[in-house]
Amino acid sequence: MKNLWAAILLIAFLSQTIYTPFIQQVYGQTQARRIAVLDLRGDGVSDSEARTLTDRLRSRLVNTGAFIVLEREQMDEILNEQGFQQSGCVSDECLVEIGRMVGVQEMVGGSIGKIGSTYTLDLRIIDVQSGRIMKTVSEDYRGDADGLLGVLDVAAQKIAGKKAEQKEEGSTWYYWVGAVVLAGAAAAVLAAGGSDGGGSGDTSNNLPDAEGIWPPGN
């Protein structure tokens, strides 16, 4: 009987530490919002750099796990079919219009500029249905242009509502390893219970004592 209780407690503990986070992660993925990112406007930054930085922002938004991000090629294809040119689209109304065309819930737009030796990143996230600005993210950076890649990592985390220092979630291989450990540990405990007669026969020695203390002997 002791071994049976131990197996139950072990399974409960491992389920809480392994499967609960796993279910939360899967459920969180099903709740990911559909989002599209308009090419950042460059001010003191070349068009090619702005385009590259926009692609980096898209990839980092994907890695947050909070969004389903529309690919650039898909967005361009839909807009071209509608005869819509995204260049010059700077107003919130224009972002909403694009969002409705491409079928997303939220749009990200903004600019990246340079004043002296300082880069400035300004983003806004707009709800397509209501047209309201949900959040703004602004970051300043002084240094080589390469460092802007890290700034976009931080911005993506903030857009997702996560702490900037939070690391990316890795693969879920450890959940499956945990499942094997859980099954093996439970089987081993139950097998041990069967070998010492704990699963059958007289179990009077395993019952709580008069004071109700469980397990016995404490």
Single pTM value for the model: 0.61
Give the chain's domains with CATH numbers.
Answer: 2-25+171-206 (no CATH), 32-159 (3.40.50.10610)
Q: How confident is the model at residue 146 (pLDDT cuts 50, 70, 90)?
A: confident
Is residue 69 over pLDDT 80?
Answer: yes
CA distance 173 to 164: 25
Which has the higher per-residue pLDDT, 30 or 60? 60
CB atoms within 10 A of CB 140: 11
**Amino acid at position 133, single letter:** I
Q: What pLDDT, on the 0 to 100 scale, is given for residue 178? A: 54
99 pLDDT higher than 80:
yes
**DSSP-assigned beta bridge partners for residue 197:** none
Burial class for 49, CB neighbours closer than 10 Å (0-12, 13-18, 19+): middle
> Is a pLDDT exceeding 80 seen at residue 45?
yes
pLDDT at 154: 94
At 17, the pLDDT band (50, 70, 90 cuts) reads low
208 vs 142 pLDDT, higher one: 142
Pairwise CA distance, residues 181 & 196, whole Å? 23
| Average model confidence (pLDDT) across the chain | 76
| Residue pair 99/124 in contact by the 8 Å Cβ criterion | no
Helix count and strand count (H, E) for the chain: 7, 6
> Averaged over 153-161, what is the pLDDT?
93
**pLDDT-derived band of residue 86, with 50, 70 and 90 as boundaries?**
confident
Q: For 166-188, write each residue's pLDDT tens digit.
A: 343 444 444 454 555 555 655 55
